């Protein structure tokens, strides 16, 4: 299978989606893994988590356009990074899709989520009253997913643990469109960072992506 969707953000930043239609064995054949990675894959060798892990790594290889071994590690905060290649990366997955974002110069964050009604029930757990106030009835579910994906993308881009979606990341008011940008602020312990987060509704999925 080929890349389902790709978008270039600027000269050194892009993201892509991979629709996972292959069997795990077919994805596995496209990878080069070391002993530790092989053991991890065996440990998770059932269900979607297995396919998601393999799918994101296959997509990463395609985007980096290499057949060589990719040493992809995870730091103490759970953020993936490339040990020997000069790229910042972010990985995400949801149901049938894997998503990868790469940049040569800046930290990045990406999140993909399948759009479901259940987000309405949990909105108050990740949005402040001031954020809930600008959510429209017309596109409520999509707009809530934009907020969630934007906060998740910022969390991944910032790359530190102990960040609260509701307390530390604030989304500025915006009107929903199928493809657009939202402004947000991460404010925690003296850290104050403004972000512009891109978002895209793709089929019945929402994607949030940001460059630091």
User: 128-169: per-residue pLDDT in tens?
Assistant: 999 999 999 999 999 999 999 999 999 999 999 899 999 999
A 10 A CB-CB count for 30 gives 13
Mean pLDDT across the stretch 10-35? 94
Confidence of residue 65 (pLDDT cuts 50, 70, 90): very high
Q: Is 90 exceeded by the pLDDT of residue 171?
A: yes
Tell me which CATH homologous superfamily contains domain 112-211: 4'-phosphopantetheinyl transferase domain (3.90.470.20)
Q: Is 90 exceeded by the pLDDT of residue 42?
A: no
Mean pLDDT across the stretch 169-187? 98
User: pTM, whole model, 2 decimals?
Assistant: 0.95
CATH 3.90.470.20 residue ranges in the chain? 5-105, 112-211
- What CATH number should be reported for the domain whose range is 5-105? 3.90.470.20
Mean pLDDT across the stretch 66-78? 92
Residue ranges of alpha helices (H) inside the chain are 24-29, 35-43, 48-64, 119-126, 129-132, 140-158, 165-168
Q: Is 70 exceeded by the pLDDT of residue 1?
A: no
Mean pLDDT across the stretch 186-196? 96
Confidence of residue 13 (pLDDT cuts 50, 70, 90): very high
**Cα–Cα distance measured from residue 106 to residue 35, given in angstroms and rounded to the nearest whole number:** 30
């Amino acid at each position: 299978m080929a890349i389902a969707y790709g978008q270039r953000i600027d000269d050194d930043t892009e993201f892509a989606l991979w629709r996972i239609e292959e069997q795990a064995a077919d994805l596995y054949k496209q990878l080069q893994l070391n002993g530790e990675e092989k053991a991890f894959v065996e440990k998770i060798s059932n269900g979607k988590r297995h396919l998601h892990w393999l799918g994101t790594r296959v997509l990463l290889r395609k985007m980096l356009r290499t057949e060589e071994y990719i040493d992809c590690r995870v730091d103490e905060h759970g953020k993936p990074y490339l040990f020997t290649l000069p790229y910042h990366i972010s990985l995400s997955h949801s149901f049938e899709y894997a998503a990868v974002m790469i940049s040569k110069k800046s930290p990045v964050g990406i999140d993909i989520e399948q759009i479901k009604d259940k987000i309405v029930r949990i909105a108050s757990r990740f949005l402040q009253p001031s954020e809930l106030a600008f959510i429209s009835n017309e596109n409520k579910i999509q707009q809530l997913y934009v907020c969630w994906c934007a906060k998740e993308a910022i969390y991944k881009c910032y790359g530190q643990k102990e960040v609260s979606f509701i307390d530390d990341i604030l989304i500025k008011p915006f009107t929903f469109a199928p493809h657009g940008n939202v402004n947000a602020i991460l404010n925690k312990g003296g850290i104050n960072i403004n972000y512009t987060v891109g978002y895209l509704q793709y089929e019945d999925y929402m994607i949030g992506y940001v460059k630091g």
